[in-house]
Structure formats: structure tokens, C-alpha cells
């Protein structure tokens, strides 16, 4: 214990102490059981499992989804409705994708100007949504065309439309918004 | 805006999916730390549960100055040490009341464990978390840097400081051995 000059020696020495005091263990945690206990304690209304994160929750914004063209192609190749939900999914996503394509350049121009500084929160979310949508479309164009992925994309597009609608109505941004067209 | 920032914002608005996603992202690291410190899987599970409940309830106090992973890790360490100390206390009490109490098979050196915990407690959090990630979770410096959102060089420097301070503490004679 006295001749400990180098960092390597310190590392070896400390590792040996730690191995004796806190031996390595290979146990696996039952993560779903722990989560169920947390969910109960936190009074969550539903017990979410690892299999359900594709929900249209806003949490997924930065993690997912990109090019309207690819998704349009996807919609052409995806076989007919797989559930009653799909009956409305196809027409709606086609409509919001069309709006997205039409607005994309105008929104990008506005976001790259200095004006979004006045509405930082909307600009922040819009940028994140645009990234998520582009990523999502990219994934879809690469063949990851699950029903869930399309639903998630739809969630992003709906949210984005809502922000744009709010911006258009806002007294601060409505005029400059119109001028960008 | 990164995914985690978005998740935290959504969780604060009550989005349960965001809470679940935060759990998915961090529970393995918390579990590995808890199980290694406590050495008893059922209690380590309690520790993971306690860590996330504390983190979720205090989420509005997370300032974002340090990484969320580091913040959760610090809560996990405190919870693990609290559970470990409580368990050691209870075991001593049980043995005092009933000397016939069976002694569980010993895998770790309890005296050394107490000294290491005391030494780790003496470290500032920024040094301790890097030390724990490197020595307990066996992360590399790039992994630590990513988890804690710090440069690799900072991770190396902090580890070096942590080791130096621990060496000093651990090579001192234990306070109980000193003449009164």
C-alpha cells in the first residue's frame, strides 16, 4: 500500500479493494416488475410496458422519424387496412404530408431567420419536430414501414400543424408569417 | 433539443410514457450500481424503485446543469448506501438480539466495504460519479463522457483526482484504531 506512484498502480490497487468489498455480480433485474412498483407508487393510470413506446406520445419527438416523398411512396406500397384504425389513417396522413411538403420551405426560411427568437419555445419544438419527421420518413423509406411507425409520423405531423396554426393566429407572428409566402 | 430534454419536459407535463422512457434509458445503470453496492438483488430492486420515485418526484428540481444520467446516478448512489447501511444495522441488531441468527454466506469483506463507502462519501459528487462509473460500472472514459455530458479529458482528470483522494483516505489508519 505504500508504493503507489502511478495512476496504473492506483487503478490496480483500488480495483482489488473494490473487488473484495463489492464483488462483481451477474444478476439480472426484473425491470418490468420494478416498473410496475414504480407505476403504482406514482399513481400512473396505465402500466406501460417496453412494448408500448410507439404511442403517439410527444416523448418520441427527437428519437424518431424524414422525406415526404418516401412516405408517400410508402403509403402506396403499404397493403390495405390492417385494422379499423387504418381506415382513417391513410387519408389523414396523405393530407397532412401534403401540407407538410407545401409548408416545409416556408417554415425552414422562417426558422433560419432571426424572427423565431421572439417565440423561442415554438421554434424549438418546430425544429425538433422537423428533425423527427425527416428521420421518420428516412426510416420508413428504408423499409421500416410498420403500422406503428406511420402512426408515430402522423403524431408528429399533427403536432407540427397545431403549432403552425397557433403561430398563424398569433398577433405577433401572423403578419410576418404571411409575408414569407 | 435532445430526446432526454424533451422527455423531461413531457414528463413534467404528466406524460406517463415519458416517465417510462426515462426509466428504460437509465434503469440498467442504476441496477448495476445498486446491485454491486448492496450485493443483494431484492434490496437492489428496492433501490432502483426508490431511485426512480425520488427522481420523478423531484424532477422539477432538476436544473439541467449536469446530465440527467449523472443526476439519477447520484440519487441511486445515495439510495444504495442508505439501504446498505440500514441493512447492516438491522443485521447487527438481529444478531445482538438473537446470537443464533444464521450468518449469510460472506462474499464481500464487510469491514473493507464500510471503509470504501466512508471514503467514497468523502468525495465531491463530480469526482465520485466518475469513479463509480469507471470502477463499479466498468465504463470507458468516452462512455463516461457521453453519460455525464462532459469532455473525455474532464472525465480522466476527475478520475485521477478521485483516486488520489481515495488513496489518501484509505491509506490513513482507520479513525477507530487511533489512540484516544
Q: Is B121 on the interface with A (CB under 8 A)?
A: no
Quote the pLDDT of residue A32.
87
Name the pLDDT band for A75 (thresholds 50, 70, 90).
very low
Q: Which one, of A136, A147, A122, A148, lies nearest residue A62 by Cα?
A: A136
Tell me the mean pLDDT in the region A72-101. 53
Distance CA B4, CA B21 (A): 9
Q: Is B12 on the interface with A (CB under 8 A)?
A: no
Distance CA A71, CA A134 (A): 10
Q: Which one, of A134, A90, A130, A135, lies nearest residue A107 by Cα?
A: A130
Quote the pLDDT of residue A87.
41
| Residues with Cβ within 8 Å of residue A145, at least 6 apart in sequence | A74, A77, A78
Tell me the mean pLDDT in the region B97-116. 74
Which of the residue ranges A105-119, A160-174, B41-55 would you say has the lowest mean pLDDT? Answer: A160-174
Give φ, ψ of A114 to 5 degrees: -90, -10
Q: Is B124 on the interface with A (CB under 8 A)?
A: no
Q: Is B106 on the interface with A (CB under 8 A)?
A: no
Tell me the mean pLDDT in the region A112-132. 77
Q: Are A14 and B166 in contact (CB under 8 A)?
A: yes
Element (H, E) at B68: helix B68-97
Contact B56 A45 (CB under 8 A): no
Residues of A in contact with B115 (CB under 8 A): 21
Average pLDDT, chain A: 67
To which residue does cell 403536432 refer? A159
Contact B45 A34 (CB under 8 A): yes
Tell me how far the alpha carbon of residue A154 is from its chain's centroid: 12
| Residues with Cβ within 8 Å of residue B141, at least 6 apart in sequence | B134, B152, B155, B156, B159
To which residue does cell 487503478 refer? A11
Chain pair A-B, CB pairs under 8 angstroms = 130
Q: What ipTM describes this predicted complex? A: 0.85
Contact A128 B1 (CB under 8 A): yes
Please state, for a pLDDT cut of 90, what percent of chain B lies above it.
Answer: 58
Residue positions counted in chain A? 181
Closest residue in A to B112 (Cα–Cα): A21
Cα separation of the two ends of chain A:
74
Threshold 0.90, pTM exceeds: no
Q: Is B173 on the interface with A (CB under 8 A)?
A: no
Q: Which one, of A21, A34, A120, lies nearest residue B111 by Cα?
A: A21
Q: Is B76 on the interface with A (CB under 8 A)?
A: no
Amino acid at each position: 500500500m505504500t508504493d503507489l506512484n502511478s495512476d496504473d498502480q492506483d487503478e490496480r490497487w483500488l480495483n482489488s479493494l473494490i473487488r473484495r468489498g463489492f464483488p462483481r455480480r451477474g444478476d439480472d433485474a426484473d425491470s418490468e416488475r420494478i416498473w410496475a412498483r414504480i407505476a403504482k407508487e406514482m399513481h400512473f393510470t396505465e402500466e406501460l410496458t417496453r412494448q408500448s413506446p410507439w404511442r403517439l406520445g410527444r416523448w418520441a419527438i427527437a428519437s424518431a422519424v424524414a422525406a415526404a416523398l418516401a412516405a408517400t411512396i410508402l403509403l402506396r406500397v403499404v397493403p390495405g387496412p390492417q385494422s379499423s384504425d387504418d381506415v382513417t389513417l391513410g387519408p389523414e396522413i396523405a393530407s397532412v404530408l401534403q401540407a407538410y411538403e407545401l409548408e416545409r420551405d416556408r417554415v425552414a426560411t422562417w426558422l433560419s431567420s432571426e424572427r423565431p427568437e421572439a417565440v423561442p419555445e415554438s421554434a424549438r419544438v418546430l425544429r425538433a419536430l422537423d428533425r423527427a419527421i425527416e428521420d421518420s420518413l428516412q426510416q420508413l423509406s428504408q423499409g421500416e414501414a410498420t403500422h406503428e411507425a406511420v402512426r408515430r409520423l402522423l403524431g408528429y405531423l399533427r403536432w407540427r400543424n397545431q403549432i403552425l396554426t397557433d403561430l398563424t393566429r398569433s398577433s405577433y407572428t401572423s403578419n410576418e408569417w404571411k409575408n414569407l409566402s | 433539443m435532445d430526446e432526454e430534454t424533451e422527455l423531461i419536459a413531457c414528463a413534467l407535463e404528466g406524460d406517463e410514457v415519458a416517465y417510462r422512457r426515462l426509466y428504460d434509458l437509465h434503469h440498467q445503470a442504476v441496477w448495476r450500481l445498486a446491485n454491486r453496492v448492496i450485493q443483494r438483488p431484492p434490496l437492489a430492486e428496492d433501490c432502483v424503485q426508490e431511485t426512480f420515485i425520488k427522481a420523478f418526484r423531484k424532477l422539477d428540481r432538476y436544473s439541467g446543469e449536469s446530465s440527467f444520467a449523472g443526476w439519477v446516478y447520484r440519487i441511486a448512489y445515495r439510495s444504495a448506501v442508505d439501504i446498505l447501511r440500514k441493512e447492516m444495522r438491522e443485521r447487527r441488531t438481529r444478531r445482538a438480539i438473537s446470537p443464533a441468527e444464521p450468518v449469510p454466506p460472506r462474499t464481500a469483506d464487510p469491514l473493507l466495504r464500510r471503509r470504501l463507502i466512508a471514503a467514497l462519501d468523502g468525495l465531491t459528487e463530480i469526482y465520485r460519479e466518475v469513479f463509480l462509473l469507471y470502477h463499479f460500472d466498468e465504463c470507458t472514459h468516452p462512455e463516461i463522457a457521453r453519460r455525464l455530458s462532459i469532455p473525455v479529458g474532464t472525465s480522466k482528470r476527475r478520475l485521477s483526482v478521485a483516486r488520489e483522494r481515495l488513496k489518501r483516505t484509505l491509506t490513513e489508519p482507520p479513525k477507530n484504531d487511533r489512540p484516544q
